[in-house]
Amino acid sequence: MSQKVRELYELFPYPLRDPQQEKDRLLMPPLDTLSRVNHYCFGGAKDFDDSFRALVAGGGTGDSMIWLAEQLRDVGGSVTYLEPSSASTKVARARAEARGLSNVSFVNQTISEFAKSKPEAFDYINCAGVLHHLEDPEEGLRDLTSVLKADGAMGIMVYGEHGRLAVTEWRKMIEPLLEGKDLPQQLEMTRTLLSALPEDNMLLKMGGCPGFIKGLLENDPEIVDLLLHPVECAYDVHGVYRFASSAELHVAAFTGFFGFGGTGKAHYNIENLVRDPALLRELAAKPLCDQQAFCERFSGAMPLHAFYLTREDKGQTTEVLPDAELAPYFFVPPNKTFFDDLVALAGQPVLIEDGSGNAVDLTGGPDLARLLAVFDGKNTVAQIVAILRDEILDTQPIDMNSIAVNTLGAVWALFHKFDWMLAAKPDGWQKVDGERTLRVRKV
Ligand SMILES: C[S@@+](CC[C@H](N)C(=O)[O-])C[C@H]1O[C@@H](n2cnc3c(N)ncnc32)[C@H](O)[C@@H]1O
């Protein structure tokens, strides 16, 4: 770890957090939501019990550590928080104390120092916003892999090359002005530039909302991390795949990350971006990584990539049905009137929304309501196919089983698109999203 990077995080622990706020709210980084990790990395079959060990590498001021420790506290799972910056660790420790978390151990080391100490291996490793700041990110990933269990998984976030062009350009612009200034002076200069930004500056577009620059100006660690970091690199989609293979790992799924919203896995799916049927067919014939790479440049909205890595190739089977013995469940639960609303709006176009900008359109009706009610986290895929075939679809002298499978596949694809539904063992880890519910809206 270079001296400059070390000093940066001692001066500006990242992200800016006040331990007092733990009384009022729990931040839940979506990358580390264990229902998601279970679905994408462990085939829905992981037992999260007191043997479960999570590592948060480069834990900063503690967001991922807190969220993982909160989810694991009742089952006795543990979290190791690894962070070389004492100033960051101080904030993270105070947050854990404010929550009364006793399942966290704190290690004041770099990734490579920690890997050399040969600790007991981990089931899940979070490393978000760290590897792209290492002199040798591939070495960092290999070090992390060396402390991952054989069937373990990682949740990684790195900068996205294309969506971050505004920052690259900004850095080229200020480079000649940085010389001879220490970090606080560089910050002061950057604040001056940001407070009078021309309206066509690319940073404004990247920020995505009118309050972006105002928010930045209230958050020095964010300015420093975003615009003044001495060591950083970025990856495009193909770069992410190359990065994974450099440590003999596979991309199990791209996923979402908070802060720069809108980088959820739906953005990596050509079907959500390309309208023209002929082009869509042409693109669909390409390898998945090429489709995702197309999405990155076509959408232009991926300043970062968040993804899961596993040793075994899980084939990114995101849109096909889960295994027959798994139980699909609503990770984002329907609100109280959801099923009644669907019935009341029979035959009419409706939007299903989760309150965070994600929506799918459907036609309402009692059959859809009956089918969705069967996704209770107990019925397995095999059982739902049988219910659909025998009780919901009309009996006709054709292969009802394949119609049932196809119907279920279509419903699953719609509800899995934004992770509204995930799948796990019927008696497995099926903790739902505590922040959102699904509602039906007439169009
Ligand atoms: C941008 S912050 C991200 C913090 C946290 N992961 C998050 O997402 O909120 C990067 C963190 O990585 C830490 N870091 C930098 N180099 C490291 C290394 N070689 N080993 C472990 N941590 C490192 C820094 O001290 C800093 O806290």
Q: Are 354 and 436 in contact (CB under 8 A)?
A: yes
Ligand 1 atom closest to Cα of residue 56: 6
Distance 46 CA to ligand 1 centre (A): 28
**Is it the case that residue 291 has pLDDT exceeding 50?**
yes
Question: Which atom belonging to ligand 1 lies closest to the Cα atom of 113?
Answer: 20
What contacts 383, CB < 8 A, 6 or more positions away? none
Nearest-atom number in ligand 1 for the CA of 14 is: 2
Mode of pairing for the β-strands spanning 122-128 and 104-107: unpaired
List residues near ligand 1 (CB under 6 A): 1, 5, 9, 14-15, 57-60, 63, 83-85, 88, 110-111, 128-130, 133-134, 225
Lowest mean pLDDT among 24-28, 283-287, 411-415: 411-415
| CATH code of 261's domain | 3.40.50.150
Q: CA-CA distance, 157 to 257, in Å (whole number)?
A: 8
Which H/E stretch holds residue 402? helix 400-416
- Reading the block at residue 421, the tokens are 């539904």
Q: What pLDDT score does 260 carry?
A: 46
The alpha carbons of the chain give a radius of gyration, in whole angstroms, of 23
Q: Are 7 and 107 within one domain?
A: yes
| pLDDT value of position 317 | 62
Residue with CA nearest ligand 1 atom 13: 58
The answer, yes or no, to whether residue 94 has pLDDT greater than 60, is yes
- Tell me the pLDDT band of 358, cut-offs 50, 70 and 90: confident
Best residue for ligand 1 mutational test, from 14, 55, 126, 167 (most atoms within 8 Å of Cβ): 14
Q: Output the average pLDDT for the chain.
A: 92
Residue 246 lies in a domain: yes
- Min mean pLDDT across 88-92, 186-190, 248-252, 344-348 is at 344-348
The pair of three-digit structure tokens given for residue 224, joined into one six-digit string: 């420093």
Rounded distance between C-alpha atoms, residue 247 and residue 253, angstroms: 17
Distance 64 CA to ligand 1 centre (A): 12
CA of 362 to the centre of ligand 1 (A): 43
| Atom 20 of ligand 1: nearest residue by CA position | 110
Average pLDDT over residues 107-132: 98
The sign of the torsion formed by the CA atoms of 31, 42, 312, 117 equals positive
Whether residue 212 is found in the same domain as residue 260: no
User: Do residues 233 and 159 make contact, with C-beta atoms less than 8 angstroms apart?
Assistant: yes
Residue whose C-alpha is closest to residue 417's, from 264, 261, 275, 252: 264
For 435, the 3-state DSSP assignment is: coil
Give the number of domains in the chain. Answer: 3
Give distance in angstroms: CA of 129 to centre of ligand 1: 7
Lay out the sheet containing 148-159: strands in order across.
Answer: 104-107, 78-82, 53-57, 122-128, 148-159, 304-310, 250-255
126 lies in a domain? yes
Question: Which domain, by its residues, includes 18?
Answer: 1-160+233-308
- Read off the amino acid at residue 95: R
**pLDDT tens readout for residues 229-254:** 999 999 999 999 999 999 999 999 99
Enumerate the H helices of 117-236 as residue ranges. 137-145, 165-178, 183-194, 202-207, 212-217, 220-227
Contact between 57 and 84 under an 8 Å Cβ cutoff? The reply is no
The amino acid sitting at 164 is: R
Based on the domain organization, do 190 and 241 belong to the same domain?
Answer: no
What is the average per-residue pLDDT within 62-66? 98
With a CB cutoff of 8 Å and minimum separation 6, the contacts of 58 are 82, 83, 111, 127, 128, 129, 130, 131, 133
Distance CA 11, CA 8 (A): 5
Q: Are residues 181 and 262 in the same domain?
A: no
Flag whether 318 is in a domain. Answer: no
Same domain, 17 and 126: yes
CATH code at 357?
A: 3.90.930
- Is the pLDDT score of 294 beyond 50? yes
DSSP β-ladder status, 439-442 and 349-353: antiparallel
Same domain (yes/no): 139, 186: no
Closest CA to 64 of 103, 29, 97, 20: 29
CA of 113 to the centre of ligand 1 (A): 14
> CA 169, CA 175: separation in Å to the nearest integer?
10
Residue 356 in any domain: the answer is yes
Residue identifier of the C-alpha nearest atom 4 of ligand 1: 60
Does residue 394 carry a pLDDT above 80? no
Max distance between CA atoms of the chain, in angstroms, equals 82
Atom of ligand 1 nearest to the CA of 15: 9
The Å distance, Cα 6 to ligand 1 centre, comes to 9
Identify the bridge partners of residue 304 per DSSP, sorted by sequence position. Answer: 159
> 210, 226, 242: which is the final residue of a domain?
226
Would you state the pLDDT for residue 261? 44
Q: What is the pTM (predicted TM-score) of this model? A: 0.93
CA dist., res. 423 & res. 314, Å (int): 15
Lowest mean pLDDT among 95-109, 153-167, 410-424: 410-424
For residues 192 and 293, membership in a common domain is answered with no
Any idea which residue has 């009802």 for tokens?
Answer: 400
For residues 415 and 84, give the distance between their C-alpha atoms in angstroms, rounded to a whole number.
41
